[in-house]
Amino acid sequence: MYNQKVMEAFANPQNVGVIENADGEGMVGNASCGDIMKITLKIENDIIVDAKFQTFGCAAAIATSSTATQMIIGLSLDEALQITNAKVVEYLEGLPPQKIHCSVLAEEAIKKAIEDYRAKQAAKA
């Protein structure tokens, strides 16, 4: 059902975990739907220097979270906000149609983590 690239991302996920004292944190989804994704970011001068994820969900959810964290490390916040679920799916060379919604979670988690960071910055200022 999944292609080789998705299988690899699922079987050897990168950036698993939680960043202590993260600058931004985003959690989306809910347990009854069977999908929760949490992304934590370390941000320096508006650049994402580290990203980690934790995911409760199917293989596609794990593969897309891992891929999304890999794609955003090193990007500015504005660049990271341009990483849509379609780009994650493209990087993975496609997902089965019924699994596309899993990739949306990764995009939403990143957006939420960046919003969290910006809200904290605004509060400080």
Is 33 one of the catalytic residues?
yes
Q: Is residue 32 near other proteins by the rule CB under 8 A? A: yes
Near other proteins by CB under 8 A: residue from 4, 20, 31, 97: 31
Instruction: Find the catalytic residue in 95, 102, 105, 114.
Output: 102
Q: Is residue 10 near other proteins by the rule CB under 8 A? A: yes
Residues 54-93 that bind other proteins (CB under 8 A): 54-59, 61-62
Near other proteins by CB under 8 A: residue from 14, 19, 27, 118: 27
Is 58 one of the catalytic residues?
no
* Backbone phi and psi for residue 44, each to the nearest 5 degrees, phi listed first: -130, 125
Residue 24 or 57 with smaller CB distance to other proteins: 57
